Amino acid sequence: MSRPYYASTEAIDIIYADKFLIVVNKPTLLLSVPGRGEEKQDCLISRLRSDFPDILTVHRLDWETSGLTVLALNKEVHRHLSRQFQERQVHKHYTAVVYGKPTTDSGEVNLPLRCDWDNRPRQMVDHQQGKPSQTHWQIIDYSKNTTRLRLTPITGRSHQLRVHMLALGHPIIGDPLYAYPEALNLAERLLLHATYLKFTHPDTNRQVEFYCRCPF
């Protein structure tokens, strides 16, 4: 199951900008980059290009995921930032609300992932062909039959947090691809938000960090 596609009209909040890079809060239901088809050309980078003509995508958030995204304003900065992501030098935290309550306060999911080719864009656990994927999680608080978690992805596979939480037995609330009906129907959106980002600034070589309040 998936939601009918449309592009959010919510404004893009620019958290930080200089002549090298920008950090923005991507709204939910907005693609990071253009998709297939004319209706999917409206996206984060196309909207930002009117003010930042040379902007380049460094990493992506899912259409339904909101939160912090960094984009480069020239090719050299793009190479610098992309290398940090590839070498796992970027620190990221997400906030998620999941169904049920884990039996411990924190833990790790270490399960290899690959595309579920017969059910794209879904991803799946595959111990033979999957790529190594690792996620740390920690309980923030608990309410009734849901739990708020801080998720820290060590790797950056497609849909990693969503599939790992499902494998843990606690799918993310409002997830049309992976949540069963009880969890899906508790929210109108995917309750997953990129709340924290830390990396080395390509110009100053100093660590910079950014926070973005969770909207749910």
Would the pLDDT of 169 be above 70? yes
Domain boundaries, the chain: 93-192
- Contact of 1 with 176, CB cutoff 8 Å: yes
Out of 18, 51, 54, 62, the active site residue is 62
- Contact of 173 with 101, CB cutoff 8 Å: no
Would the pLDDT of 214 be above 80? yes
DSSP single-letter state for residue 40: G
Would the pLDDT of 3 be above 90? no
CB-based burial label for 205 (10 Å; 0-12, 13-18, 19+): exposed
Q: Are strands 66-72 and 56-57 parallel, antiparallel or unpaired?
A: antiparallel
Tokens matching residue 193:
């938000």
Mean pLDDT of the chain: 96
Q: pLDDT tens-digit profile of 6-26?
A: 889 999 999 999 999 999 999
- Calculate Rg over the CA atoms of the chain: 17
Neighbouring residues of 74: CB distance < 8 A, sequence distance ≥ 6: 20, 54, 56
**The CATH classification of domain 93-192, taken from the options 3.30.2350.10, 3.30.365.10, 3.20.20.70, 2.40.50.100:** 3.30.2350.10
Q: What is the pTM of this model?
A: 0.96
User: Diameter of the chain by CA atoms?
Assistant: 49
| Choice among 30-44, 52-66, 93-107, 125-139 with the minimum mean pLDDT | 30-44
Query: Mean pLDDT throughout 149-153?
Result: 98
Would the pLDDT of 1 be above 70? no
Confidence of residue 32 (pLDDT cuts 50, 70, 90): very high
Tokens matching residue 166:
């499902």
Question: Which of 92, 88, 63, 72 is CA-nearest to residue 158?
Answer: 63
**Catalytic residue flag (residue 116):** no
Distance CA 32, CA 65 (A): 10
Within 13 A of 84's CA, how many CA atoms are on the CB side?
23
